[in-house]
Amino acid sequence: MSLKLRLVLIPSIILTLGLAAAIALELAWAPERVRAEVGTGMELGRILVIAAVADASALGSPAAALQRLEIELPKVRHVTFRIATGSQMIAAGEVPALDIAHAPVPAWFVHLLDPRPRIELFPIVVRGVGVGQVEMLSNPLNEIAEVWKELVRLCLILIAASGAIVGLILWTVQRALRPIGDLQRGFDRLEHGDYGVRLKPIRVPELARIGEQFNSLACSLAQVTDDNHRLIDALINLQETERKEIAYELHDEVGPVLFGIRAEAASILGICGRDAAHLASIAERTEAIGRLADGMQRTNARILARLRPLALDSLGLAEALRELVAGWQEQCPEIAFSVRADEIKLDDAAAELALYRVVQECLTNAARHAGAHRIEVCLKRADGGKGAINLLVQDDGRGLPAGLRFGFGLMGMSERVRALHGRLAIGKAPLGGAEIAVTIPLAAAAMA
């Protein structure tokens, strides 16, 4: 059952039950009310009719007495008087039926209240002779008509109030649920990749925050998607650049060396074809081949070092970082580099490489963007080595720009840290410049 239907149905049922209870209450005390009203009328009628009969009887003539009574018979609510003589007189114990057919109330309602008609007879006696009787008959029909009218009025008021309440609830619910429909449509569009969708401010206070959060979520998704696109572009470009650089190295460095080796070898062969007097020349050429091979080895080492820091495997993370920092110190003597690294050996070689690359990028950034005079690298076990390691790189440079946007470096860094289930915090360093803090949780087994 829909929420809207439930919100309307529940109060409707309660109001209907209330209406039924009000009608039942009214009906429950209606007979008592009719009886009391009629009883009061009968009592008053009795007093008045006794006085009137006594008055009339004192006249001494039956005709005069009856005439006087015709004039003086009292008019009392819920009571009907009749003067009867001779055969018109109702016998004692006989009760005439009520004239329901002409009552201004439905007959079933009169039967429901079940009013018992009552009759009282007052004999008219003149000079000791009975000349007739005054019959006092209870008439509850007009009281019942009043009860009926009140009941109808009560029902109309309650039905109108219930209709108004249900209508108001329906209107409020519809108004409150409209933003949920907007939210649903918004999520549908997000699901289909339309991150430009934004919701208008929601005026229902309980939902206003959700609307704001939806917009901020859409904004973040748009940003993340944008960043992802840029990251992929940067990755492709970087790969191309790397390939180009390796191709240049091979072409410029390895190519000439190989050409030289071939030339020297050909030259040796030529010399060998002549005579032994050329032995010195052969030695010279062989030395040249050795030099060329050395050159090629250095080139090879440089290419390999760029593709993969070999020091990491042979010396461990701490020593590889020291070597890395030493390389930077050589390149930038005007900056004071310092490195403090605990001897940490991680089973996971990928984690070591990731930390190494993070430091590499931090140093590149600090040297490129910060204009720093001091750069500090610190790698240590967190909390006495309880399965986490902390890396901190800080500088005293100009600090991060306001509205920092991640470039490929920071994005790659955060991706690497995320892949290791770690945390990356970028902020202001105590030294004054930028600070990159990385925490990587590691199972104890992953650390030696």
Nearer to ligand ADP, 268 or 424 (CB): 424
Decide: is 408 part of the binding site for ligand ADP (CB under 6 A).
yes
Continuous segment of H or E residues that includes residue 140: none
> 400 contacts which partner out of ligand ADP, Mg ion, none, CB within 5 to 8 A by kind?
ligand ADP
Q: Based on the shown chain and the rule CB under 6 A, indicate whether residue 404 belongs to the binding site for ligand ADP.
A: yes
Using CB under 6 A, pick the residue from 321, 346, 400, 424 that binds ligand ADP.
400
Question: Which DSSP category does 133 fall into?
Answer: E
What single-letter DSSP state applies at residue 444? G
* Residue 395 binds ligand ADP, judged by CB under 6 A: yes
**Any idea what the Cα angle at residue 41 is, between residues 35 and 47, rounded to 5°?**
135
Among 365, 392, 396, 424, binds ligand ADP (CB under 6 A): 365
Chosen from ligand ADP, Mg ion, none, partner binding at 7 (C-beta under 5 to 8 Å by type)? none
Q: Which of 445, 438, 404 is nearest to 423 (CA)?
A: 438
For residue 26 the two structure tokens come to 């009214």
- 406 belongs to the binding site for ligand ADP (CB under 6 A): yes
Give the CA distances from residue 38 to residues 53, 122, 128, in Å, rounded to whole numbers and listed in that order: 22, 18, 32
- HEC readout, 264-316: HHHHHHHHHCCCHHHHHHHHHHHHHHHHHHHHHHHHHHHHHHHHCCHHHHHHC
Tell me if 78 contacts ligand ADP by CB under 6 A: no
**Residue with token string 């007093």:** 47
Binding-residue total with ligand ADP (CB under 6 A): 18
In the bound state with ligand ADP, the residue whose beta carbon lies nearer, of 144 and 410, is 410
CB of 373 to ligand ADP, least distance (A): 13
Question: Residues 376, 409, 417, 447: which binds ligand ADP (CB under 6 A)?
Answer: 409
- Smallest distance, Å, CB 429 to ligand ADP? 9
360 binds ligand ADP (CB under 6 A): no
Cα Rg for the chain, rounded, in angstroms? 56
CA distance linking residue 72 with residue 78, whole number of Å:
18
Residues 28-47 that bind ligand ADP (CB under 6 A): none
- Single-letter amino acid, residue 245: E
Query: In this complex, which beta carbon is closest to ligand ADP, that of residue 6 or of residue 398?
Result: 398
Kindly compute the dihedral angle of the four CA atoms of residues 8, 13, 19, 20, in this order, to the nearest 10 degrees.
160
- For residues 134-173, which are near ligand ADP according to CB under 6 A? none
CB-nearer residue toward ligand ADP: 320 or 410? 410
d(CA 237, CA 2): 54
Give min distance, CB of 316 to ligand ADP, in A.
26
For residue 329, what are the CA distances in angstroms to 220, 332, 337, 340, 375?
Answer: 39, 5, 6, 15, 10
Q: CB 238 → Mg ion: shortest distance, Å?
A: 11
Cα–Cα dist 412/358, whole Å: 8
Q: Closest distance between Mg ion and the C-beta of residue 368, in Å?
A: 6
Contact status: 320 vs ligand ADP (CB under 6 A)? no
Return the range that interacts with ligand ADP (CB under 6 A); candidates 40-48, 68-76, 249-257, 390-398: 390-398
Interface with Mg ion by CB under 5 A: which residues? Answer: 365, 409
Which residue number, 57 or 414, has a Cβ lying nearer to ligand ADP?
Answer: 414
For residue 389, the partner it binds in ligand ADP, Mg ion, none, with Cβ less than 5 to 8 A by kind, is none
Scanning 49-57, 159-167, 346-354, 399-407 for contacts with ligand ADP by CB under 6 A, the matching segment is 399-407
Q: Which is nearer to ligand ADP, 90 or 426 (CB)?
A: 426
What is the DSSP secondary structure assignment for residue 201, as one 8-state letter? P
- Closer residue to Mg ion (CB): 186 or 412: 412
Which of these segments, 106-114, 270-278, 337-345, 405-413, binds ligand ADP (CB under 6 A)?
A: 405-413
Given the complex with ligand ADP, which of 34 and 375 has the nearer CB atom? 375
**Spatial distance between the Cα atoms of 179 and 211, rounded to a whole number of angstroms:** 8
Site for ligand ADP in 412-441 (CB under 6 A): 433-434
**Tokens 């309660």, located at residue:** 14
406 C-beta neighbours (distance < 10 Å), count: 15
* Residue carrying structure tokens 């018992």: 116
Which has the closest alpha carbon to 44: 91, 16, 68, 77? Answer: 77
CB 119 within 8 A of CB 98: no
Work out whether 401 is an interface residue with ligand ADP (CB under 6 A).
yes
- Give contact residues for ligand ADP (rule: CB under 6 A): 365-366, 369-370, 395, 397-401, 404, 406-410, 433-434
